[in-house]
Amino acid sequence: MSFFIPSAWAQAAPGAEPNPMFTLLLFGGLFLFMYLMVIRPQQKRRKEHAKLVANLDKGDEVATTAGILGRITRIEGNYVVLEVSDKVELKLQREAVHAVLPKGTLKAI
């Protein structure tokens, strides 16, 4: 009972092994937690973004991942052409579109 030396904890008897069911249950619970908190929400976001990109149409007002706002003037395969100002057009990949804005948003800004 020394003040400077902590009490020692006894280890399991030699040859005694931990219960394998407990270890398996622990790993199963960890996997379930990771699936529900990380994997599933990420898959849901990816599906929603793929649906958004597939439904792009000429005339939509969009925001890109870089923060550029513009109106879609043309869609060329995997690319969209955005009009960001009078006579200024940018060609971007479809996947760069982050969100479709409500009509009239660009005029309100």
What residue segments make up the domains of the chain, in order of their start?
17-55, 57-108
What pLDDT, on a 0 to 100 scale, did the predictor assign at position 20? 85
* 71-104 pLDDT tens trace: 999 999 999 999 999 999 999 999 999 999 999 9
Q: Does pTM top 0.85 for this prediction?
A: no
- CATH code for the domain defined by 57-108: 2.30.30
Distance, CA of 51 to CA of 53 (rounded, Å): 5
What pLDDT, on a 0 to 100 scale, did the predictor assign at position 17? 72
* 24-72 pLDDT tens trace: 999 999 999 999 999 999 999 999 999 999 999 999 999 999 999 999 9
User: How high does pLDDT run on average in the chain?
Assistant: 90
